[in-house]
Structure 1
């Protein structure tokens, strides 16, 4: 190992991580040490390019449904995210005459949703579980490591292959048949390298899991501080419309999708709990006369009015130029001398956490807060001079949560790049040394 270039954990963040190990330079005897090509050939020698049938066998165990029995059922989440554990189903309440028994350490996928990457490997501690016959299961060959294939189910290459194997007419009616699944061709390393991939990825996953746990704990501390601060306020309340400037977003129609003034806009899907997801910004036409009314400026708070009611985030100018917002978002702007942006944001978080927004929302399938109801909600009338004292520590706690989540997201990107490089062999498995 010392004679070869090592790829460390920090290196995996840079383009250099995709370079293969290179031998030391110098005049060595050709017989005394392998050339780089000889080394690469040796590493690749055990790889097998073959249909999945080389490593998997269809292994479905069916049971007759008994009316008096309860059946713990499972589904499969999309994009390789594991199992979905459902409530037990009484045999008398289902129309299924037979169910598939789902055993530990089996590969399973949804025939209906395989094109969405609904595939995984069941955990080795899976309790007795069942699923409909839309969920075929497969046993592993002796030289196929279930944990390696679990990781393989999280890759874009597997999802693309499932999408390509999907047959049928129209979206949800499409299916991937077991025979077509087993015909998918992939490059699979020999067992020792399969185990090494698992070790490397598990090390990164452990760090991601630890960061997620830390972020969730910090978030609970932040929420506790917020409830404590607001509950101790001994002030009267005023309406939100009096404390803040509030504006409902623009209604979108087909004719407003085109024009001479097409700009991005924010919708409910872009707004999380204190976070913004700008990976998929939609656009619509905002005439110059409308842009003043529907513009989002730095320090505006964006509150979800319909759908995930009550989620709110602060806009800090993440996108250059004009950006608008649609009718499912309420823009909240601080009033000079009356309120601050951070106070508006913290009030939104507090109102969501204490169920005040949910209590005001109406609707059967999709809940909506309603602009007039939002404007009439009570806000503690804390003087602006005291708002900074209330929100300062909360902002610091939120910043710590955001930093921890950002680190976890960065590691997820590192993981994706590492896994891709290991499987397409642009990173030699034997040259990777994770410093964890």
Structure 2
């Protein structure tokens, strides 16, 4: 491909559609419209369908994409050079190349600059990258295979999103069904504790152990994301004290206000796992209460309750242990709790299964892209 930039002057009172390039080859995003008189740029670059566009700044994050037809005519700053493909390259094939981790690694290796967030990749540095180019008919075959995987991922994501809406609908039914029942504070039937606070002095101790360590990023509403679990060193005594047990409810302390108290029940997926201080552990001590019901109640009714009673500082909301301790939970028969927990849990189980399939397909896709581009996986075209 070759550098091919078309510039257009920024004329006051003229309206221009502005685009941005997302990281990791995820494509383009519309950034709205601007008046030519409201920008400091005298001219901007025009996007044309089937061109390649990249962001020079922080190019090590993989901001590169093929321009789709619906972004034809959008404008970008001069930080976004554009390239026209040669006749031997199919735009759809190049679209998948832009989503290849190998390409992002090559871009990262070529960036220049001394400050990490200001490092740039110049057009000539991008054009130095080499890839094997299969015949156009093979490119078309590769596109067909990868598009089929992408279609399946999209379909599974859509199905999971629909089930998530069903989960919320069930949650509203549950809240309506127990409305008016007596409530008891969470601390009256459970033990609530914070997690590990990092302390450099701990690293000076002789009895250090390294254990898995759950962060806020791992704890979501009605599910846990355990794809990336950090490890941390702490004393053996603290590791034992904070070790999670099956049935423990994990609830987040801070973040966006609508995410306070979100969480799920720990099922001992990772042995000897502990949690950070921004994640509360709620251990039910009264068998009259079902942890899965309590967790579901915290994720549904609790969403608005924690927003109301949480505290807000600049950009960060939080709840403390005292607030969580008085969180009101319906004091209903265990059979009622288990009934709702079972219905909601069945939906969550299906969502988790779909998300797992999506994860497997995305892993497969990454392997396919690498293999097909490197020609370690070959396809026959008839």
Please give the TM-score of this superposition, normalised by the length of structure 2: 0.91
Q: Which stretch of structure 1 is more off in the superposition, 399-408 or 96-105? A: 96-105
Question: Residues of 1 paired with 2:305 and 2:67: CA distance?
Answer: 40
Paired residue for 2:94? 149
Q: For residues 124-147 of structure 1, what are the alpha-carbon distances to aligned partners after superposition, in whole Å with 9 as ceiling and x for unaligned? A: 222542222111111111111111
Does 1:305 find its partner at 2:253?
yes
Paired residue for 1:28? none
Does 1:253 find its partner at 2:202?
no
1:157 is displaced (CA, Å) by 1.0
CA contact (8 A) 2:12 2:35 kept: yes
Q: For residues 20-72 of structure 1, what are the alpha-carbon distances to aligned partners after superposition, in whole Å with 9 as ceiling and x for unaligned? A: xxxxxxxxxxxxxxxxxxxxxxxxxxxxxxxxxxxx12122222223434433
Paired residue for 2:108? 163
CA contact (8 A) 1:362 1:369 kept: no
1:351 is displaced (CA, Å) by 3.8
Question: Residues of 1 paired with 2:227 and 2:356: CA distance?
Answer: 15
CA contact (8 A) 2:141 2:381 kept: no
1:361 is displaced (CA, Å) by 4.2
Give the one of 309, 314, 317 matched to 1:367.
Answer: 317
5+ residue gaps in structure 2? none
Paired residue for 1:286? 235
Larger Rg: 1
5+ residue gaps in structure 1? 1-55
CA contact (8 A) 1:78 1:113 kept: no
CA contact (8 A) 2:189 2:286 kept: no
Paired residue for 1:121? 66
Paired residue for 1:420? 370
Give the one of 297, 301, 306 matched to 1:347.
Answer: 297
Question: Residues of 2 paired with 1:381 and 1:365: CA distance?
Answer: 35
Paired residue for 2:17? 72
Shift in CA distance, 255/138, structure 1 to aligned 2, threshold 3 Å: farther
Paired residue for 2:305? 356
Question: Residues of 1 paired with 2:13 and 2:319: CA distance?
Answer: 44
CA contact (8 A) 1:238 1:379 kept: yes
Question: Residues of 1 paired with 2:311 and 2:97: CA distance?
Answer: 42
Q: How many residues align?
A: 374
Give the one of 77, 86, 93 matched to 2:31.
Answer: 86
Question: Residues of 2 paired with 1:363 and 1:61: CA distance?
Answer: 46
Paired residue for 2:136? 191
Does 1:201 find its partner at 2:150?
no
Question: Residues of 2 paired with 1:70 and 1:384: CA distance?
Answer: 62
Paired residue for 2:346? 396
